Amino acid sequence: MTAKHDITPQPDLAHGKSRTGPVRARRPVYLDLLPPCNAACPAGEDIQGWLAHAEAGRFEDAWRALVANNPLPAVHGRVCYHPCETACNRGELDEAVSVHAVERFLGDLALQQGWSFPEPAARSGKRVLVVGAGPSGLSAAYHLARLGHQVEVRDAGPQPGGMMRYGIPAYRLPRDILAGEIERVMALGVKVTSGYRVEDLGAERREGRFDAVFVAVGAHLSKRVDIPAADTRRVVDALPFLQSVASGERPAIGRRVAVYGGGNTAMDAARTARRLGATETIIVYRRTRAQMPAHEEEAADAEREGVRINWLRTITAFDGPELTVEAMELDEAGFPRPTGRYEKLAADSVILALGQDTDTDFLTTVPGVEMERDGTVKVSPTMMTGSPGLFAGGDMVPAERTVTVGVGHGKKAARNIDAWLRGEAPVVPVKHAEAGFDGLHLWYFGDFSRRPQPERPPADRVADFTEVVGGLSAPDAAYEAGRCLSCGNCFECDGCLGACPEDAVVKLGPGKRYRFDYARCTACGSCYEQCPVHAIDWVPEPASSEGVR
């Protein structure tokens, strides 16, 4: 970015007064930069774009701009860990824009109003098989259907949704919300077959005459550890435990429950145990809070609901109602090591939440498919495996395992599958440079505090599985969207128009922005210095410039 002292007006002999003219060294230019929220979104949403619609009260337009990239906004508004907000430049000013809350509002409003996706493009005649009806598979199916392909989804679960349905508890994601968004995807003509486990992928592809396949099987296999236990029936895996609760069962776990692990699944298991009647719930984790894989907000919510977390501890034996744990300490490299000091804790049952693996055995016989050491599938930048026409994403490939990452994989794979089916080059999106906070001139924006979402009191939460966090009202959603700084992109504030002393800024009409009349521009830099969002840059004059364009 050019400093102020680099803006030096020079004489313009063609106009007979102090203008830059043919000897102008620099000129202002309009540009579009990549907002940091958009850059950080794993689903590739145009967050800044749909926030602008929401600010203006054009909620359906906002929703349609949102679902161009992500078909599950009501889900994401609840379960995404919103890295967009971590990246938000507004966080340097006061508080980040509550992107997830506005997204949830739009998603919920769409379900209430019955908004539907547009009809798919002209049919391509191509058939695509999607294996797995979790977030990545559903995303791929949605985008492929909108591109005109016939899509069939096979899923081993009783109902579609994958870990969204069977791993995320209802107090975070109500099942009617999930069902509504899945039904809208299926309304595009996507056929979903549940309770169908694919064993021979080659046979499925041949018999179904599928032109391409996208595999997105979730991580449903629990990692195990041997814990000496007098009654192994009281030691259960977190995923089957959460799945049974999601299916309406109420497993007997006792009044005192220990959860072994430090990830988001561990937090969900502990909070679920509290709702099943556990009066004492503890989490045992062998590392520190700073090292836990769970998101901080998940741990904080668990603690607010009465869950105690025992850091730097590992379980060595379970003889209900007693649990033996060993204290750990960090070595010089930051790894936990045993100390030989033991403690006794009360526990009627132990829930193991030590991570999950994907079941990729059905891919091992497919020619060309290669596996990483951890069992995930190697894919190219286009998400295709070493087998032509076979793509993979979600938990099956090396990446962070979240709903939003999975949805982003599904979109990316769908666009590359479409290109592959059409015999076209892989999709390589062009990205602008990112708009940083230091490049903004924030004279335009006031200090407006973030609108909080309502939450149930902790004592009430643990009584049932009713949703904990509420949504924003329409006025609050529009207000929150209006807190967006529009980083790097003109939003027609007219600041440059008013600042220019030579009328060199020409307004082109609503939605069309402006242009510079370089025949009048004196390179005073007023437009550049006042632009609040860094939509104007100060660049060297082109070598071929005649000074009048």
The CATH number that applies at residue 196 is 3.50.50.60
Query: Within this chain, do residues 73 and 103 fall inside the same structural domain, yes or no?
Result: yes
Q: Tell me which H or E stretch contains 315.
A: strand 313-319
Pairing of strands 221-222, 356-357: antiparallel
Query: Within this chain, do residues 177 and 248 fall inside the same structural domain, yes or no?
Result: no
Q: How far apart are CA 413 and CA 40, in angstroms?
A: 19
Q: What is the CATH number of the domain that holds 15?
A: 3.30.70.20
In a domain, 474, yes or no: yes
How buried is residue 447: exposed, middle or buried, by Cβ count under 10 Å (0-12/13-18/19+)? exposed
Query: Within this chain, do residues 234 and 331 fall inside the same structural domain, yes or no?
Result: yes
Pair of tokens at residue 446: 């006031």
Q: How far apart are CA 236 and CA 276, in angstroms?
A: 15
Query: Within this chain, do residues 406 and 337 fall inside the same structural domain, yes or no?
Result: no
In total, how many domains does the chain have?
4
Pair of tokens at residue 348: 């009627």
Per the listing, tokens 């000074």 go with 547
Tens of pLDDT along the chain (549 residues) come to: 333 334 444 443 333 344 444 457 889 999 999 999 999 999 999 999 999 999 999 999 999 999 999 999 999 999 999 999 999 999 999 999 999 999 999 999 999 999 999 988 789 999 999 999 999 999 999 999 999 999 999 999 999 999 999 999 999 999 999 999 999 999 999 999 999 999 899 999 999 999 999 999 987 767 777 787 767 788 999 999 999 999 889 999 999 999 999 999 999 999 999 999 999 999 999 999 999 999 999 999 999 999 999 999 999 999 878 899 999 999 999 899 999 999 999 999 999 998 877 788 888 889 999 988 888 899 999 999 999 999 999 988 888 889 999 999 999 999 999 999 999 988 788 888 999 999 998 888 877 889 999 999 999 999 999 999 999 999 999 999 999 999 999 999 999 999 999 999 999 999 899 999 999 998 888 999 999 999 999 899 887 654 433
Q: Which of 421, 441, 462 corresponds to the end of one domain? A: 421
Pair of tokens at residue 137: 């598979």
Query: Within this chain, do residues 47 and 110 fall inside the same structural domain, yes or no?
Result: yes
In a domain, 137, yes or no: yes
Q: Which of 317, 335, 354 corresponds to the end of one domain? A: 354
How buried is residue 391: exposed, middle or buried, by Cβ count under 10 Å (0-12/13-18/19+)? buried
Q: Any alpha helices (H) in 11-151, and if so which ranges? A: 36-40, 47-55, 59-67, 73-79, 83-87, 99-113, 135-146
In a domain, 426, yes or no: no
Q: What is the CATH number of the domain that holds 46?
A: 1.10.1060
In a domain, 397, yes or no: yes
Query: Within this chain, do residues 42 and 18 fall inside the same structural domain, yes or no?
Result: no
Domain encompassing residue 288: 223-354
Q: How far apart are CA 419 and CA 413, in angstroms?
A: 10
Q: Tell me which H or E stretch contains 527.
A: helix 526-530
Q: pTM for this structure?
A: 0.89
Query: Within this chain, do residues 228 and 217 fall inside the same structural domain, yes or no?
Result: no
Query: Within this chain, do residues 253 and 330 fall inside the same structural domain, yes or no?
Result: yes
How many angstroms from the chain centroid is the CA of residue 499?
Answer: 39
Per the listing, tokens 């649990």 go with 323
